[in-house]
Homo-oligomer: A and B are copies of this chain.
Amino acid sequence: MFIELNFKSTIPIYEQLKNEIIIGIAKGEISFGERLPSVRQLAGDIGINMHTVNKAYKQLEEEGFVSIHRQKGVVVNSEGPPTADKQYRLNLKTILKPMIANAFCRDIEQEEFVKIIEQIYVELEGRKNE
């Protein structure tokens, strides 16, 4: 898995890192039960601070993606995060709404937006069967 970070972005590094890992899990590039690199190793590899990696890992644990063992390190949960509930869907909609409103003002119609979604789903599922 390649991890690309944009240090100029306003999105916090730990957030970007989280996102990359979640994408990796969704794609199946990181298998259930697999160990993620140790906090210090990953930090060294990417060239960021240990604590930044730690923050990303901790939040992934909170959201149910991984389990952190003091000795074994960080392991991808086999069950994964809890299935989406009403609250999650509502939240998702709240975040999507202004994004879509913006896109809509820029002449991106429903068909095109849906096509983008489909593309991303293909990208995620595509590599899952490798």
Q: How large is the interface on A (under 10, 10 to 19, 20 to 34, 35 or more residues)?
A: 35 or more
Rounded to whole Å, the gap between the CB of A28 and the closest CB of chain B is 10
Convert A100-128 into 0s and 1s, putting 1 for each residue whose CB lies closer than 8 angstroms to a CB of B: 11111111101001101111110110000
Docked Cα-Cα span, A61 to B116, in Å, equals: 27
Say which residue of B65, B95, B105, B116 sits within 8 Å of A22 (CB atoms). B105
When distances are taken between beta carbons in the complex, the residues of chain B under 8 Å from A108 are 84, 89, 92
Contact among B80, B93, B103, B121 with A116 in the assembled complex (CB-CB below 8 Å): B93
Between A and B, 7 residue pairs with Cβ closer than 8 Å are A12-B70, A25-B105, A88-B106, A89-B116, A92-B99, A100-B124, A117-B117
